[in-house]
Amino acid sequence: MQPDRACRNKTSLPGQPRDPAALFVFNQRTSSIAGYLQGTVKIVPTLDLTLGARYTHDDKDGSFVGRNFNPAAASIQTNETTQLSSSEGRWTYRVTSPGVRAAT
């Protein structure tokens, strides 16, 4: 979308300006995937060890477009177009031992 075209020549309500003084558009897309594994190992007949691991991966893309249509405000706000991107993957884990349990 082109903000300059999106704002111009729109009809307005009585008493309101036809064109906005400024326009700010932010778009974002996020994609995530995750997996989890867990297993229990018997250490001795009365003690179990539970291990778990999780992998998470996130991709984020976005853009910010700011347009100033008011010449009087140009000294405090300039036009801006910024592309944003982030990609992160990480492992997390947990080790637990629920304690000694009674032998059966």
Residue 21: count other Cβ atoms within 10 Å of its Cβ.
13
Nearest C-alpha neighbor of 22 from the set 71, 83, 94? 71
Tell which phi-psi region holds residue 21, choosing left (phi > 0), alpha (psi between -120 and 50) or beta.
Answer: alpha
Residue 51's domain comprises: 32-96
Note whether residue 85 is domain-resident.
yes
Note whether residue 50 is domain-resident.
yes
0.75 surpassed by pTM: no
- pLDDT category at 87 given cuts 50, 70, 90 is very high
pLDDT in tens, 27-52: 999 999 999 999 998 888 888 888 89
Average pLDDT for the chain: 79
Number of domains in the chain: 1
